[in-house]
Structure 1
Amino acid sequence: MDTNQRTEQEDIASPKRTNDLLKKHSLVLKKSLGQNFLVDPNILHKIVSSADLDVNKGVLEIGPGVGALTQQLAKKAGKVVAIEIDQRLLPLLTETLAGYAHASVIHGDILKVDLQALFQEQFKDFAQVSVVANLPYYITTPIIMKLLEEKLPLEYIVVMIQKEVASRMSAKPGGKEYGSLSIAVQYYCEPEVVTIVPKTVFIPQPNVDSAVIRLKVRQKPAVEVEDEAFFFEVVQASFVQRRKTIYNNLAVRYFTKETKGQLEAILLEAGIDPVRRGETLSMEEYARLSSCLSKALGRA
């Protein structure tokens, strides 16, 4: 990488610098877009170091805001592409990223962007690409699931999210935080909570604390299933009413009063006690269960 392309700008991860930029561009942050900008350089460095970047790797950032994280990513990665939904921020980002020719901003909604096409166009020269972002809380799960379900060639997803959501994503069977989101994320990734982030290091302050979570994307899913869509459907059905047994939840979803007698045999065939609750089942047990249920229902 040509060092001339990396004329470093003044770091903007401070309350004063961030507020000065917003004032200069006459910007009032939109609560509806979940705009909470990180102003602690130590947390930024933890996020960037967790992504294990170098000049041979690319980065997709979602919601760059004023560009504080984008700047730090551009100092490490070979290419940074940031997607920003708020058009008002584009002139500001042009200013803060002026010293980084290998960093670019695309105006768009991440949930509507054709990510396969974007990766082909922007990252065709990079064997390893990661997503690094401070995500808006209100659409955290849809964004992460879109990234995972599209099976993009990702190495890591390193994101700042609500602390509670990070706990759910990394939860193990048996706890109150373990649920369908835990299984969905761990099916595709190995999650690790990097650090807890207090709400005081954002402008404006959110109502809850955050966490940085690193998702190491698996080369292949954690368990082998014949029908992914049905596997996830069974998982979700098992958590509809957490206090009910796996038998009761699945009986409501897949059987009538006349046919639900079959369910006990199906559960036992999968090696699962019908009186257990969904939160106690491992991903491997859900894989067996979805296979047995699929055959019994004639879906296999």
Structure 2
Amino acid sequence: MPTLTDLSTIRDLCARYDFSLSKGFGQNFIINPGICPRIAEASGLGPGWGALEIGPGIGVLTEQLCRRADKVVSIEVDHRLPPLLAETMAGYDNFKLVLNDVLKVDLKGLLAQEFGDKPVAVCANLPYYITSPILMRLLEEKLPIQNITVMVQKEAAQRLCAAPGTREAGAISYAVAYYAQPKLLFTVQPGSFYPAPSVTSAVIRLDVRPQPPVQLPPEQEKAFFALIRAAFSQRRKTAANAIANGLSLPKAKVLAALEAAGLDQRARPEQLTLEQYAALQRALQSIDNRT
């Protein structure tokens, strides 16, 4: 079996299959042999588990997942890769490739069909340009997955793992904290990839929560996240001004809701916690119900 992190092996495979890396797909192959075993171990995979991988590339991480999980299903959007993967993954009968776009495939149906009642972990080396849409789809659909262990751009990793109510947090930090418990595991230098990206990467793990840490009626979740996005759309302003502008609400209504929720009307967006945004959402809904 060839070593898939070996640069000469990668170049040979690419030449034989007339494959060139696509910037459009954000393809950077891992050539540091220590990285993928660490990602696979961090996911907690073992006997009885299923692994869902997004973007297998030539199979560097896939190989490590197959050594640990009962079954590995990899979703790949690049139609040029299946012949190459057929060679690199030929030794693993617990591997299945699904040629599709992860943002379009029926994930609930796929997980039910492929894994049944097995606990499932998601693993991936995610393209930087599409990190947030993929992670939010995995979380928002409330899929039957235990955790998500992915490599992303370091700056994105720090934002994804930032605690709500801190200066480093953004709207995505609150969304992640609502659905999961995030942890930044380790950083990965540009030289670990071919070709080398211009930025440092980091591996994070999101442990999916069985229940959100704040209580909101399901029908208010959409409005709750719209509220947070509005607040952070103008984070240099007070939360009241940003929310009023972002949601096209009278400022007096937003101020009244902040007062009703017991919150400082001069607070900045990043100063409010997840629970405080939930309280603000409930207060706004209460005002709507009275009018």
| Normalised-by-shorter TM-score class | over 0.9
> Given the alignment, which residue of 115, 118, 124 partners 1:123?
115
**Which consecutive segments of 4 or more residues in structure 1 shift more than 3 A?**
173-176, 253-256
Structure 1 runs not aligned, ≥5 long: 1-8
For 1:237, the aligned partner's letter is: A
- Look up the match of 1:68: 60
Instruction: Percent identity, please.
Output: 45
Equivalent residues of 1:11, 1:71 under 8 A apart: no
Q: Summarize the alignment of residues 244-263 of structure 1 with structure 2, pairs less than 5 Å apart.
A: 244-254=237-247, 259-263=250-254
> Given the alignment, which residue of 231, 235, 246 partners 2:224?
231
Q: Deviations over 1:178-203 (max 9, x none)?
A: 11100001110100111001111111
Give, in whole Å, the separation in 2 of the partners of 1:41 and 1:237.
43
> Given the alignment, which residue of 180, 191, 209 partners 1:218?
209
Alpha-carbon distance, 1:62 to partner:
0.5
- Look up the match of 1:265: 256
For 2:168, the aligned partner's letter is: E
Using the size of structure 2 for normalisation, the TM-score is 0.95
- Look up the match of 1:284: 275
For 1:158, the aligned partner's letter is: T
3-state SS in 2 of match to 1:33: coil
- Look up the match of 1:150: 141
Equivalent residues of 2:146, 2:208 under 8 A apart: yes
Equivalent residues of 1:189, 1:215 under 8 A apart: yes
3-state SS in 2 of match to 1:76: coil
> Given the alignment, which residue of 220, 241, 244 partners 2:234?
241
> Given the alignment, which residue of 179, 188, 207 partners 1:188?
179
> Given the alignment, which residue of 279, 284, 288 partners 1:293?
284
For 1:54, the aligned partner's letter is: G
For 1:74, the aligned partner's letter is: C
3-state SS in 2 of match to 1:205: coil
Give, in whole Å, the separation in 1 of the partners of 2:195 and 2:141.
33
Q: Summarize the alignment of residues 50-199 of structure 1 with structure 2, pairs less than 5 Å apart.
A: 50-126=42-118, 128-199=119-190
Structure 2 runs not aligned, ≥5 long: none
3-state SS in 2 of match to 1:153: coil
Q: Deviations over 1:168-187 (max 9, x none)?
A: 01112454431110000111
Q: Deviations over 1:215-273 (max 9, x none)?
A: 001111121112111110111111111100011112224456xx432332210111210
3-state SS in 1 of match to 2:34: helix
3-state SS in 2 of match to 1:223: coil
Cα root mean square deviation, aligned: 1.6
